[in-house]
């Protein structure tokens, strides 16, 4: 089971690394990058901190989320355990924000599928990963 969790962590980390890179550059896929830029214009409209008077610029929002995904994905896949746990938490918050944003925009539930699956896998890694590390005191 530990090997399966390690593979899930590695694949999920590389997935976030790739999606973050697509947000940052149009060299990987120009069409997807353009689509994300237009989506982040909508996402900025329903940013959770908007209620407190903060509304990010869409381009800056895209860049910040992209860098967070690149760094956290890299650390999730290849970092030491402490940084894996921190990046797991950060990516969990990002996925919760993504689901909130899509629901606030009244997008179809199918649009939430990727974020929901990623959130579920991150929570699985968090919960099951700790379970395998705990050893009884009298072993």
| Angle value at C-alpha 74, between 18 and 48, nearest 5 degrees | 70
Tally of domains within the chain: 1
Domain annotation covers residue 5: no
Distance of CA 20 to the CA centre of its chain: 9
Q: Is residue 25 part of a domain?
A: yes
Per-residue pLDDT tens over the stretch 23-68: 999 999 999 999 999 999 999 999 988 888 888 999 999 999 999 9
**Tokens at 113, concatenated:** 């599928």
Q: Is residue 111 part of a domain?
A: yes
- The whole model's pTM is what? 0.87
Answer yes or no: is 33 within a domain.
Answer: yes
Q: Which residues form the domain of 73?
A: 11-127
E-only strand ranges, the chain? none
């Amino acid at each position: 089971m530990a090997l399966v969790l390690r593979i899930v962590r590695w694949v999920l980390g590389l997935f976030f690394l790739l999606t973050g890179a697509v947000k940052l550059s149009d060299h990987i896929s120009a069409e997807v990058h353009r689509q994300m830029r237009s989506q982040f214009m909508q996402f900025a409209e329903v940013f959770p901190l908007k209620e407190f008077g903060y509304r990010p610029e869409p381009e800056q929002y895209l860049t910040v989320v992209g860098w967070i995904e690149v760094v956290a994905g890299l650390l999730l896949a290849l970092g030491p355990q402490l940084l894996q746990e921190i990046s797991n938490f950060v990516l969990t918050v990002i996925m919760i924000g993504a689901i909130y944003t899509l629901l606030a925009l009244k997008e179809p539930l199918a649009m939430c599928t990727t974020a929901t699956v990623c959130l579920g896998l991150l929570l699985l890694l968090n919960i099951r990963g700790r379970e395998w590390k705990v050893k009884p005191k009298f072993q």
